[in-house]
Amino acid sequence: MQHDKVLILDFGSQYTQLIARRVRELNIYSEIHPFNNPPKNVNDYKAVVLSGSPMSVRSKDAFHPDLSEIRGKKPMLAVCYGAQYLAHFSGGEVAESNTREYGRANLSFVKDNEVFLKGINTGSQVWMSHSDTIKKLPTNAMLLASTNDVENAAYKIEGETTYAIQFHPEVYHSTDGKQLLENFLVNIANVNPDWTPDSFVEETVDGLKAQLGNDKVVLGLSGGVDSSVAAMLLHKAIGENLYCIFVNNGLLRKDEFSQVLEQYKGMGLNVKGVDASKRFLDALKDESDPEKKRKAIGRVFIEVFDDEANQIQDVKWLAQGTIYPDVIESVSATGGPSATIKSHHNVGGLPDFMKLKIVEPLKALFKDEVRRVGGSMGMDKQLLGRHPFPGPGLAIRILGDITAEKVRILQEVDAVFINGLKEAGLYDKVWQAGAILLPVNSVGVMGDERTYEKCVALRAVESTDGMTADWVNLPYEFLQKTSNDIINKVKGVNRVVYDISSKPPATIEWE
């Protein structure tokens, strides 16, 4: 079944992925492409959205998209930078704003009887993020909306299905943002909203059957949501021809290796567990640099995985749980404007000696969509509700070098924290939680003796996609009990702190 698609041209905005997610919440399939490397055939797309950008259209280095195949030919929505670009280079004027327009604002004028603004009233809250402002609209433009500080907050080009907005509808702070996107995509561009989890499962399984035939596939399971959902899709398509390998890198949570193995067997998957803890810890000996730790873990995982894969006769494919943000974030700044934040060892980096073809059933999905797809296949809610856990595991939650004793301490601390969240009914209200072992010893008193032991930080965040996150205001009583339990039960820890920084500027993980 062919679905209508929406093309999002990325100019480097931190919110570009949010545009794609908002569009998909409308059951419409969307794809992000760098503005300077668009798809070869834009006719495959029903509508186009131009993203925001940290760049100024007034700069000599301003990004110049080629819109010749789009503008006037396809419905187009220009957001923030896109709106300023249309104005600046099409007969309007963009100037530096007297005050940086950033944060919440409210619409003070909304043009009546406009399909684009259906259901959106004066006073609706929007989110601004720009330092330039549109002083004069482009040729043939009609004003659609204003705020008190931004006169030209929304406009359309007459004679075209081209719309432009100075605010960000994709951000939660724009309370009617989803309505506006629906107005544009469904009511103006006539995009059919038929891309659902059920349709994804059906089409993906059929596609995998056609792609793989009777070939054997090997997949590295991590215990997380992505690899588990990928495994179930493949299992539906090829059954026993899927060989799953679950590697214990010695950096998993307490008892996770045995518990997850049991869970997978209950799902009917063909799984082999491999305990390679010593091999990983040996590779990490005396290494403190976070990126080098990631690379060492990635390298050893590939070596261990390759040893195991080579024991399977005639395997042709390597399956991976790559999801869409991995694909987007792994595009370098030279290939597109969105910069890589850190290395992903599940995109690229495979050695030549693993001469296997790659199959990635989830590479079109965001994390929340992966969960919905798993739910539509009837997968265990506990597994689908698991917090994200970093590929390098506890290695990037132990700041500094890794030892078996540090891993033991952190596993015990983490178990107290995570089990406490579950017992208090807080686990499902948190997007991700974990403990961090700090390279700090502090003075304490236990009994009548002074101690000089480790300090741990607890971290719990709320998020929908991991791109932005707020720290969770956990009840003081819970934090008090958790701190007491950790200090009393975990030998080697005498101080607990709680991380109250949000992303940005802080990341979710400490390394």
Enzyme catalytic residues: 80, 168, 170
How many CA atoms lie less than 13 Å away from 165 in the CB half-sphere? 24
Residue 439, amino acid: P
DSSP class of residue 44? G
Measure the CA–CA gap between 208 and 236, rounded to whole angstroms. Answer: 9
Measure the CA–CA gap between 25 and 21, rounded to whole angstroms. Answer: 6
How many CA atoms lie less than 13 Å away from 380 in the CB half-sphere? 14
* 39 φ/ψ sector (left φ>0, alpha ψ -120 to 50, else beta): beta
Q: Which among 93, 95, 120, 124 is positioned nearest to 108, based on CA atoms?
A: 124
Q: How far is CA 145 from CA 112, 126, 164, 166, 188, in A?
A: 10, 11, 10, 10, 17
Q: Which among 58, 5, 54, 2 is positioned nearest to 30, based on CA atoms?
A: 5
Query: What are 17's two structure tokens?
Result: 């992925």
Measure the CA–CA gap between 495 and 480, rounded to whole angstroms. Answer: 12
Which residues neighbour 471 within 8 Å (Cβ) at sequence distance 6 or greater?
459, 460, 461, 462, 499, 500, 501, 502
3-state secondary structure of 358: strand
Q: Which among 200, 167, 197 is positioned nearest to 181, based on CA atoms?
A: 167
